[in-house]
Structure 1
Amino acid sequence: MVNTKTANIEDYLAWRGDLSFREGPFNPVDNLIFSVFAYLPLDGFVPPEPGRQGPTAADVAREFAKLDARAMKVRGFSERMARHISFFRQAAETRRFAGVRLSGFQNRFDKDEETQFAAVSFSLEDGSHYIAFRGTDSTVVGWKEDFNMSFMTPVPAQRLAAAYLERAAQKLHGKLRIGGHSKGGNLAVYGAVCSSWWTRRRILGVYNNDGPGFDKATIAKDGFRALQGRLYAYVPQSSIIGMLLEHSETYTIVQSTQKGIAQHDPYSWTLRGPAFVCVDTVTDTSRFIDTTIKEWLGSLPPEERRKFIDALFDILEATDITSFSELSTNWFQRARAMADAISNLDEESRTMLMKTLGLLFDTIKTNLKLLVPFGENTGNR
């Protein structure tokens, strides 16, 4: 029997997996599950064109079952990816998800264009579709694109998301839901608000699962007003990523079994039945980080944000890493490479970098009052 006090999406499969989508209507937990599926390495398993004739989840799971530990290592799968695959295979054994059809898998990574994008469409037996956008992976390019959102809209992945949604809507008949986790949630919202009237009227809901928001100019778009009541945001109680930038939608705060930034992990979100376990407010740390970053960014003109981010990632790239997971290896050599990169910056860039970091530290000191002195508010009821 599932312990509902600490149940997560893996437990949900045991609790809800025997009900089809006709018997148990789509709910917010299903949304999070499809968002997690967007992280799967579906290249070669799912056709790139959206449509109803793609393989079922059970079909794809059988292909994953053929990958032994050695094959996964050759493909470069991380421990996190192995967990996603295991979770998907469990889901594909349930009545609820086995017959879901996958199509339209697109995966684009371009270092020169600073683009990391992936999306996939799921067709449910009730005639509706869930279009899922992948969140940020561990690559430096993926994170650089996220940082670029602080001074640029749209970034390449947002443009790709809008084009993908419109194409999928042309090919898939029926009602649509759009969502994603982390950056994927941001892409889902951007694609939906930029969609045509014909596409927008078919949208049942847009789900941003702990993904960043937008600048105020983007939120002023007509699409945001047109989708009011159909935009849903979910963040854990110590959210950091999901509190970045501005949100037009009211967010639901979900209880997590983890602490701090680790709450970004969707497997840590707790649920009871077909609903998340919610709390009243985010933690003091979450509010502190949110206020600090917004005030800091507000003190920097967009061009200065761009220069700072470019300089910061130039320093990281001097270590020859392609993924943040590589920072933990050869740490001494990488730290030395970063120090050399800083010293090799021209005087203007180095001055700008130090000044910007100084502004950040000043903002942190100003906002320390947001943290309670004798233990943090955890956000629990």
Structure 2
Amino acid sequence: MFHMNDYLAWRGDLRFDERPLNEVDALVLSCLSYLDFTGFVPGPGAGGVSLSAACLALADEAGEDVSGRVRSLATLDAEYLRRLASSRRFGDLVLHDYVDQIDEGSSLQFAALRATLPDGDEFVSLRGTDSTLVGWREDFMLSFTVTEAQRRAAAYCAEALRGLAARGRDAYLGGHSKGGNLVAFAALSCPEGLRPRIREAYSFDGPGIAPEIMPQSPSSLLGDRFHHVCPEHSVIGMLLSRPEDPHAFVRSDGSGMLQHDPMTWECLPDGLARAEGLDDDARRVDEAIAAWVSQIDLDHRAEFVSELFGVLGAGGAATFDEVLQPPSIQAVLAAAVSVSDQSRELVRRLVGATVDAYRTSAGERVAEAREAAARQARELVRDVADHLALAGEEGEAEAPRRQPLLPRARGTRPDDDA
């Protein structure tokens, strides 16, 4: 299976005036904002720098391990950066107006940059979720409120479109994961007079927008200029999706949730390889989440999210990596004793899924450590499950049973298992 690295080998020698921008180009540029370009790409109004110079400088500083500069679970590496920088297609693009903002107090995580194409049009790249708890909390907040990142994205894109309109040029908008949601929100919030300047808008496995927050969908305003592209096993991208909106599904060689990584998507010389649709496992998860969203009002969604991330951050962790460390995981398990059944169950699932993803990644990259990593992961998941089950029993024995935040299915008794 061929990926974005292979695409750079196939099309890297062809400039955009020789082959127009396609959806793989849009994916490449959408992922560009996952890189921490602090110190390498100028901020708003401070000029620009070539993509080649920025990527090579970042790679030279980081050495062979650029993971410290990648603000995502996407597996961008030094080889990819150097191929991108050396390509005729992307190397001469001018990067500018880089912003990177995070504020735990307001659950804000927002980053973006702009790339000027050879014809004067621009690609606006909006960063998706990183591995911080702030970023993931903001993803969950999409189900009940307009987030600060969405407001920043709308303002950032509107400013870019005003400048382009004055020069008679257009913009492409693109983002992966939460970045795709920001693209959708920015397009919907765009002043009507500027909307024709959006040439294409791409949401790559990005969550939708709750209809209670934004009644219209991006495809209803942009038509076929809006593209929602997801892998076969899409959970994040189908969150808050609307049945009436078109979705394109693409093939991936990732396992389960790891298909969210765009570096696992199959690329062709002029596009992404299409899949028949969602796989059955993803469809079952998506239907369960959709049922949850439809059964709980906005206020209770907010309460649930606050409780959930209060538990995950109980040990002082700032990222999901840190949640799994011994000092933090012990505090998380202790905090889970006093929360609702729903939060306790979701903590168990999130910890288990995160461990499983790292176990799979370790197995693929370090063959000699595969069995040890898998054994440790199984032990951790088992310990988490046992501890949370015991916590639930002790909580019921020592305190009155809490009212669940989620409604029970019709026909079940209060003491029935969910």
1:319 correspondence with 2:315? yes
**Is the counterpart of residue 165 in structure 1 residue 177 in structure 2?**
no
Aligned equivalent of 1:371: none
CA apart distance, 1:91: 0.8
State whether structure 2 residue 259 is matched by structure 1 residue 266. no
Preserved CA contact (<8 Å) 2:173 2:183: yes
Q: Look up the equivalent residue of 2:19 and give its one-letter code.
A: G
Tell me the equivalent position of 2:367: none
Q: How far does the alpha carbon of each residue in 1:93-126 deviate from its partner, in whole angstroms, 9 at most, with x for none?
A: 0100111010111111000000101011011102
The 5 A counterparts of 1:157-196 are: 157-172=149-164, 173=167, 174-196=169-191
- Partner-residue secondary structure (3-state), 1:161: helix
Task: Tell me, in whole angstroms, the C-alpha distance in 2 between the residues paired with 1:296 and 1:251.
Answer: 22
Residue 229 and residue 352 in structure 1: after superposition, are their counterparts in 2 closer, same or farther (change >3 A)?
A: farther
| 1:77–1:231 CA distance, 2 compared to 1 (3 A) | closer
Superposed CA RMSD in Å reads: 2.8
Output the CA distance in 2 between the equivalents of 1:336 and 1:222: 42
Most deviating of 183-192 and 163-172: 163-172
| Equivalent in the alignment of 1:108 | 101
Equivalent position SS for 1:177: strand
Q: Give the distance between the partners of 1:30 and 1:303, measured in 2 at CA.
A: 40
Select 1:342's aligned residue among 336, 343, 348. 336
| CA positional deviation for 1:335 | 3.6
Q: Contact 1:216 / 1:246 at 8 angstroms: preserved in 2?
A: no
Cα separation, partners in 2 of 1:326 and 1:61, compared to 1, 3 Å: same
Q: Give the drift of 1:340.
A: 2.5
- Work out the CA distance in 2 between the residues paired with 1:78 and 1:200: 30
Q: Which secondary structure state, in structure 2, belongs to the residue aligned with residue 216 of structure 1?
A: coil
8 Å Cα contact 1:40-1:84 kept in structure 2: no
**TM-score with structure 2 setting the length:** 0.77
Amino acid at match of 1:161: A
Confirm or deny: 8 A CA contact 1:233 1:250 kept in the other structure.
Answer: yes
| Structure 1 residues 145 and 323, CA gap change in structure 2 (3 angstroms) | same
Q: Distance in 2 between matches of 1:346 and 1:206?
A: 40
- Gaps of at least 5 residues in structure 2 are 344-394, 413-418
Give the conservation status (yes or no) of the 8 Å contact 2:71–2:131. no
CA-to-aligned-CA distance 1:237-281 (integer Å, 9 cap, x gap):
011100100246311100001121000010100022111110121
Q: Distance in 1 between matches of 2:97 and 2:230?
A: 28
Equivalent residue in structure 1 for 2:281, among 279, 285, 290: 285
Query: Where do 1:195-344 residues align within 5 Å?
Result: 195-221=190-216, 225-247=220-242, 249-330=245-326, 333-343=327-337
Q: 2:315 aligns to what SS in structure 1? A: coil
Task: Give the drift of 1:43.
Answer: 1.1
Counterpart in the other structure of 2:382: none
Larger CA deviation: 25-34 vs 194-203: 194-203
Q: CA deviation at 1:318?
A: 0.7
Provide the rounded CA distance (Å) in 1 between the counterparts of 2:64 and 2:171: 38
Letter in 2 for 1:272: L
Contact 1:37 / 1:84 at 8 angstroms: preserved in 2?
Answer: no
2:21 pairs with one of 15, 20, 26: 26
Listed as ranges, the gaps of 5+ residues in structure 1 are 1-5, 364-381
C-alpha distance in 1 between matches for 2:14 and 2:330: 56
What is the aligned counterpart of 2:147 among 155, 175, 178? 155
2:116 to 119, 123, 130: 123
Match of 1:366 in 2: none
The alpha carbon displacement at 1:282 in A equals 0.6
- Residue 300 of structure 2 aligns to a residue whose secondary structure is helix
- Judge conservation of contact 1:50–1:121 (CA < 8 Å) in 2: no
Aligned AA for 2:188? V
The Cα of 1:329 is off from its aligned counterpart by: 2.1
Q: Secondary structure of the equivalent of 1:186?
A: helix
Q: Which residue matches 2:374?
A: none
Could you tell me whether the CA contact under 8 Å between 2:340 and 2:404 is conserved in 1? no
Partner Cα separation in structure 2 for residue 235 and residue 14 of structure 1: 24
Q: Report 1 or 2 for greater relative contact order, CA contacts < 8 Å, sequence distance ≥ 6.
A: 1
In structure 2, what is the equivalent of residue 141 of structure 1? 134
Calculate the TM-score normalised by the size of structure 1.
0.84
- Assess, with a 3 A threshold, how the Cα gap between structure 1 residues 134 and 189 changes in structure 2: closer, same or farther: same
